[in-house]
Amino acid sequence: MSDTTNEEKMDLAPIETPFKRIWADFCQNKIALAALIVLLIIVCIALFAPWIAPTNPYDLASVSILDGKLPPGSESLSGVTYVLGTDGAGRGLLSSIFYGLRISLGVGVMSALVALVFGAIMGLAAAYYGGRVDTIIMRIVDIQLSFPAILVALILLAALGKGVDKIIIALVIVQWAYYARTVRASALVERSKEYVEAATCLALSDRRILLRHLLPNCLPPLIVIGTVQTAHAISLEATLSFLGVGLPITEPSLGLLISNGFEYMMSGKYWISFFPGIALLVTIVSINLVGDQLRDVLNPRLQK
């Protein structure tokens, strides 16, 4: 990073840092900006859920089955008002959603990050070494991508079983191929450029060339794919948890909350599934909108 700042100092005209320029471009789209703000709020809720949730839905002492299935806005026997109602066990839905966001976002971001790192390494290796390494890695990627993500995840979870660690492993395996393919594509473009040749002539180590020269240039597409894949991961986790093959009931993510409401829906108690779904939807939509705008901003072809 210090290299970039030095270069900038050498320039006589004051130029904007890349970050400032990207930020300015990003703010051009009001919808994307709004989505970013919503997303930040959601992240804050997830981070600080235990402190801002009106009730603790997993504190057995304060949860009473007698308060179960209360419609939105009703008051419980103990005098607590449940804005979004309660679920079958008498847990406040608003608080459950706050805690659920924590788990859903946590699993989504975690798996996307691990997949990003792993996929990027594989992609870089494939691009840099070429030949047999490239062929083997890309064949695996091709075969895996020819199967839909949900199917691969289902196969893995059938073998692995339930659990936070298991679902993160499954999501990483499902997603790494997208990153690997993206990084390889942009690294191949970069590798043929002269500065890499120059670096090779200077007899810099492979590791240095890969990490200091190739990787930074592959970052923009990686960031874009990263955002979109995080949304995918959250959605996929919710789906798998709903199907009962994802998280165990001890880790109530949004998907599990929705799943819990399923049985009560037939009797018209819509809110137990409805509100967690809305939370999930808002999260995914705002991540996607931010990702869309990032793609436009970071795409050099669209720059004037």
Query: Which residue's CB is nearer to other proteins, number 55 or number 104?
Result: 104
Binding to other proteins (CB under 8 A) within 198-227 occurs at none
User: Given phi > 0 = left and psi -120 to 50 = alpha, else beta, which region is 7?
Assistant: alpha
Min dist. Cβ of residue 246 to other proteins (A): 11
What DSSP line would sit under 278-291, residue for residue?
A: HHHHHHHHHHHHHH
Smallest gap from Cβ 240 to other proteins, in A, equals 9
Longest Cα separation, the chain: 77
242 binds other proteins (CB under 8 A): yes
Main-chain dihedrals φ then ψ at residue 254, nearest 5 degrees: -60, -40
Please count the CA atoms within 13 angstroms of the CA of 126 that sit on its side-chain side. Answer: 26
CA-to-CA distance for 18 and 1, rounded, in angstroms? 12
Nearest to 80 by CA among 104, 105, 59, 103: 59
Q: Is 274 in the site for other proteins (CB under 8 A)?
A: yes
Task: Using CB under 8 A, pick the residue from 56, 288, 295, 296 that binds other proteins.
Answer: 288
Q: Which of these ranges, 39-47, 130-138, 181-189, 263-271, lies near other proteins under the rule CB under 8 A?
A: 263-271
Residue closer to other proteins, measured from CB, 218 or 297: 297
**Least distance (Å) between residue 220 CB and other proteins:** 22
Q: Which of 93, 231, 256, 298 binds other proteins (CB under 8 A)?
A: 231
- Any contact of residue 261 with other proteins (CB under 8 A)? yes
Query: Long-range contacts for 196-203 (Cβ within 8 Å, ≥24 apart)?
Result: none
Q: How far is the CB of 280 from other proteins (least distance, A)?
A: 6
CA dihedral 218, 219, 223, 226 (to 10 degrees): 60
Q: In terms of CB distance, is 42 or 209 closer to other proteins?
A: 42
| Part in contact with other proteins (CB under 8 A); list of ranges 9-17, 20-28, 212-220, 258-266 | 258-266
38 scored as a contact of other proteins (CB under 8 A): no
* Amino acid at position 233, single letter: A
- What is the C-alpha to C-alpha distance for residues 297 and 49, in angstroms, rounded to an integer? 32
Number of residues that bind other proteins (CB under 8 A): 37
265-273: long-range pairs with CB below 8 Å, 24+: 269/69, 269/71, 271/71, 271/72, 271/84, 271/85, 271/93, 272/69, 272/85, 272/87, 272/88, 272/93
Nearer to other proteins, 279 or 297 (CB): 279
Decide whether 130 or 148 has the Cβ nearer to other proteins: 148
**Strand, coil or helix: what is 210?**
helix
Q: Which residues, numbered 136-155, are part of the site for other proteins (CB under 8 A)? A: 143, 146-148, 150-151, 154-155
Phi, psi torsion values for 267, nearest 5 degrees: -95, 20
Residue 71 in contact with other proteins, rule: CB under 8 A: no
Contact status: 266 vs other proteins (CB under 8 A): yes
Stretch that binds other proteins, among 65-73, 186-194, 210-218, 269-277 (CB under 8 A): 269-277
- Chain residues binding other proteins by CB under 8 A are 143, 146-148, 150-151, 154-156, 158-161, 231, 235, 238-239, 242-245, 255, 258, 261-262, 265-266, 268, 270, 273-274, 277, 280-281, 284-285, 288
